[in-house]
Chain A
Amino acid sequence: MSDGGRAFLGAALAGAGSLLAIFSFNVPGMVPFTAMGVAMVVVGMTAAALREPKMGTDFEMALLKGSMLGIEPLLNEIYAKRSKVGSVSEGGDGGTPNQGGNSTGNHPSAIYLPPKGEGAPVYVPLDDQRPLAAIEEMGQAPTGLLPSDAHQRGIRVFSAGSSLVGVLGAGADESSGVEEALRRVLVEEARLCSSVKAVKTGNAIVVEMRNARAGQETESHKMILGSLPTSLAASVVATVTTSPVAIEAEEITLKRTIARLSFGADKAG
């Protein structure tokens, strides 16, 4: 339901309830109807007063997009390299649209690392070797591209959600709930979607975001780190669970975005 619709219906219900309450209050033996009128007023006023789950303003979106600009040249370079390798080895186009994180050639998906020190970085593998580097190695990977002869396995980048640990609290405990943290960040603060649900299945979490504002990110961001809402969701899950998280799959439709995030991504190989 749209926010304006909810407020209008709430006001109408409160108006009808107050009429019922005032009318029945003056008639003997109509106390239940008076109470029903009061209940309608309370429900109506509550509906009108509920916090509106508005989507983010252009200003908020501009700030979020600005936070991605710093890593964009780096991601473009990695994406170009991967596409080149992909097209040589597979003859492919380096992945299909609407699938983030794991779809550039044979490369393993980016891994959202748990927060440590300055924030929660994202490890982007540069080669297609498996198993992946150990989590300690990922956490110490360089933050820039080294010369091609340096045999660099991966790179550490700081995404838009890297500093969420400062908001969610250091070592944000899992007991408060992944879904609650996702809701706080994605719905209430960043306002990137109207609602979010998270279901844990084995060593993965399936996150469903309604009316997510995808399409704000560049192609390279989408292919390497996933769409902006999914990238933020992965950062939140990595922060709350203090476990490395990879975006296994991402499905974006007009009404909803579904992302499958796997835990223990450093061991997944």
Chain B
Amino acid sequence: MGILDERENAFLLGFEGFSFFIVVSLAYFGEERIAVYLSGLTIAYFSAMLVFGVKTGRYLNFVGVVLLVVFAWSVVTTVM
């Protein structure tokens, strides 16, 4: 399998495919709210991390933190 032997590469490819699928699917159904897309991406990110079991950074996952903040913001603005 070459490049996919490293778990990190498999994770990146999986997450990329998952993100693409989510964006295309939501666009197909005519979704126009960016918050919905961002929520989907956040779920895809953490799901892929769990599935492939990768670690980013030794102490803190900065990308994950940013995505969580954006996700929380989009939920709050939607509810309020």
A residues with a Cβ closer than 8 A to B are 1, 6, 29, 31-32, 34-36, 38-39, 42-43, 45-47, 49-51, 53, 180, 183, 194-195, 197, 210
Contacts and interface: CB of A to CB of B under 8 A. Distances in A.
A36 B3 contact: no
Interface residues of B, number: 34
Most chain A beta-carbon contacts within 10 A, residue among B8, B11, B32, B56: B8
Interface in B25-43: 26-27, 31-34, 37-38, 41
Contact of A1 (B3, B23, B45): B3
Contact of B45 (A42, A51, A53): A42
A210 B5 contact: yes
A39 B62 CA distance: 15
A46 B63 contact: yes
Given A31-B32, A32-B23, A38 B55 contact: no
Contacts of A50: 8, 11-12, 54, 56
A35 B38 contact: yes
A36 B15 contact: no
The B interface is mostly helix, strand or loop, or mixed, namely helix
Contacts of B61: 49
A183 B7 CA distance: 10
B77 to A, nearest CB: 15
Interface in B1-28: 3, 5-9, 11-12, 15-16, 19-20, 23-24, 26-27
Contact of A195 (B7, B11, B33, B63): B7
Contacts of A34: 34, 37
Contacts of A51: 8, 54-58
The 10 closest A-B pairs by CB, nearest first: A35-B37, A32-B27, A39-B19, A49-B56, A50-B8, A35-B23, A45-B63, A195-B5, A195-B6, A36-B23
Contact of B6 (A35, A43, A45, A53): A53
Contacts of A6: 8-9
Contact of A42 (B11, B31, B58, B63): B63
A197 B69 CA distance: 36
Given A31-B33, A47-B12, A42 B41 contact: yes
Contact of A43 (B5, B12, B26, B53): B12
Contacts of A42: 19, 41, 45, 63, 67
7 contacts: A29-B32, A32-B24, A35-B26, A42-B19, A43-B12, A49-B61, A51-B57
A32 B26 contact: yes
Given A1-B9, A35-B38, 17 more contacts: A6-B8, A6-B9, A31-B33, A31-B34, A32-B23, A32-B24, A32-B31, A36-B20, A39-B16, A39-B19, A39-B20, A42-B63, A45-B62, A49-B62, A51-B54, A51-B55, A197-B5
